[in-house]
A and B are shown apart, each in its own frame.
Chain A
Amino acid sequence: MTTPPAVTNAFSGRGSGHLDRLRGASPGLVLAWLVIALVVLWAAAPALFTEYSATVGVPAEKLRPPSPDHLLGTDALGRDLFARIVHGSVHSLSGALVAVAIGLVAGTMLGLVAGSIGGLVDDTLMRIVDVLLAVPALLLSLSIIILTGFGTINAAVAVGAASVAGFARLVRADVIRVRRSEYVEAAFGSGGTYAAVLWRHVLPNSLTSAFAFAALQFGSAILSISTLGFLGYGAPPPTPEWGLLIAEGRNYISSAWWLTAAPGLVVVAVVLSANRISRAVGRSTP
């Protein structure tokens, strides 16, 4: 057979060089890891980064613009915004982790069961998944929140539950793809029992894309949690949750725009970085 060593693209006349270059340890990927590492450190040891309290402010120093004293200025209650962002990271990160864990575990179980048992079980589970996919994730999350009430954990659970269907469909498709592969047939052909083949071949090969998807979901979970926080369904007010910070800053948009801009930029940076890393994870797996 005659295959050129790399991609054929007769149409565009430009190569995949752009993507190729990113494939190595590109500056973008390094930066993404640095951003995530920094935010994780914020969550783990906020005191290393700021001496101000996240919840108690100095009323006399309210609505100060950014300065050496207050890197990102202060809010209407005189609280240091940078301190609030640093202390808020733990809410966003843990919320996103809980959400992704729920989606990954529940979705993977559903997908595995549906894909490996097949038949009526598969049909039933997949119709339920179809229904869940027919409703936008935000509305699903809201349906759960209206049931469970507001709060950080509730919001995280709601976001996680809304992603179960996506995981389930992905894992099921992978299980079915792997089950049809020749190497699985070969494993049966060499005398493997159903359980052994499922454990040795189907499970490891179908979980790869679930993990890549989980990395991608991490970014969107941070977005969803901040959205719920903004709408007022997440953590209650003194909590420095990022979505809530933006909601609170919104009232001073014309006079103190940094109160809205800064936490938003942090969210964008974290989500961009998480997505960038998930793309790298997805590509490095076979």
Chain B
Amino acid sequence: MSRYLISRIGQALVVLWAAFTLSFVLLQALPGDAVLIKFLNPDFGLSQEQIADIRASYGADRSVTAQYLHALGNVLSGDFGYSIQAGVPVRQLLAENLPATLRLACLAFLAAVVLAFAVTLLSTFATFAWLRSAIQVLPSLFISLPVFWLGIMLIQIFSFRLRLVSVINPGPWEALILPVATIAVPISAPLAQILMRNLDAVAHQPFVTVARAKGASRAFAFWRHVLRNALLPTLAIAGVLFGELLAGAVVTETVFGLNGIGALTHKAVGNQDAAVLQAVVLFCAVAFVVITLFVDLASPLLDPRLRSKTGAPA
């Protein structure tokens, strides 16, 4: 087990290193001096020496390899460089914006899970066939909605028409209702689709027939045999979902005018602030890798088949 743990953590570190390298190539090496061209703009009124100083402070005067090693060392010590736009360390920007986005993402994740379960259960257990069919198409509808448009429509309907949620000077929690819904609806769709597909696949397994032949009712067989088996493969997409939550935050924070990582990213791209974008991308990769690692390590607790590698009978 410990050998598995070490090799699994090793793999995760390799992915992170590769993510850093890729983002370095894409956002630092390829643009090269492009970012620094900005300082050549006469408006700044910088002298040649000052520009050379800036180049040196960014490390742009050294070879790509030296820059790479320098950047890698910095990232390992938690230094993501300076935001060209804001002129403050990227680390500080991330720290300031992270809590708001994490709160939004966690609430949206909870809401998405609840919504996905509601849709799945209703599509399985609703009394009327037409209702089941109607609910079964909801995920394909949800997945086809542009997130930004959904947000605007929710504001239009719930704030302007129905006046249920205020968007002008709302309370701290009230302000989160619509953004959470905006992210949660599209995220719930793949979750519900996977759940529905797995439930259907597991429901056709012979062991469910055996349970029914024991005299178990439909509901008993569902809760005791189908659900847990159907949930296991759903865990595998947890890491991807978290990434999608952050991507959703980019759009949602922009639509609702909230502060957070998403709004920060939007501004960074608009200002070609590569250091900030690189930090956000790396943050996403780290989050993905950590979540996936956690799921991989937790899976054997839920699935006995993963506990022993040799399934040979005694």
Interface residues of A (CB under 8 A from B): 7-14, 18, 127-128, 130-140, 142-147, 219, 223, 226-227, 230-233, 243, 246-247, 250, 253-254, 257, 260-261, 264, 267-268, 271-272, 275-276
Contact = CB atoms under 8 A, between A and B. Distances in A.
B15 A267 contact: no
Interface in B265-284: 265-266, 268-270, 272, 274, 277-278, 280-281, 284
A13 B240 CA distance: 34
A139 B27 contact: no
Contacts of B222: 11
B7 interface: no
Contacts of B124: 12
Interface residues of B, number: 64
17 contacts: A133-B240, A134-B15, A134-B289, A134-B292, A135-B281, A135-B284, A138-B247, A139-B265, A139-B277, A139-B281, A142-B250, A147-B31, A243-B148, A246-B148, A260-B152, A260-B153, A275-B140
Q: Main SS of the interface on chain A? A: helix
B269 A250 contact: no
Interface stretch (B16-24, B69-77, B107-115, B172-180): B16-24
Interface of B: 14-15, 18-19, 22-23, 26-27, 30-31, 124, 129, 132-133, 136, 140-141, 143-149, 152-153, 155-156, 160, 203-204, 208-209, 212, 218, 221-222, 226, 239-240, 243-244, 246-247, 250-251, 254-255, 265-266, 268-270, 272, 274, 277-278, 280-281, 284-285, 288-289, 292
B246 A147 contact: no
Given A134-B19, A246-B146, A143 B277 contact: yes
Cβ-closest 10 pairs across A and B: A264-B149, A136-B243, A138-B247, A136-B247, A11-B203, A271-B144, A10-B209, A134-B288, A272-B144, A11-B208
B218 to A, nearest CB: 6
B149 A260 contact: yes
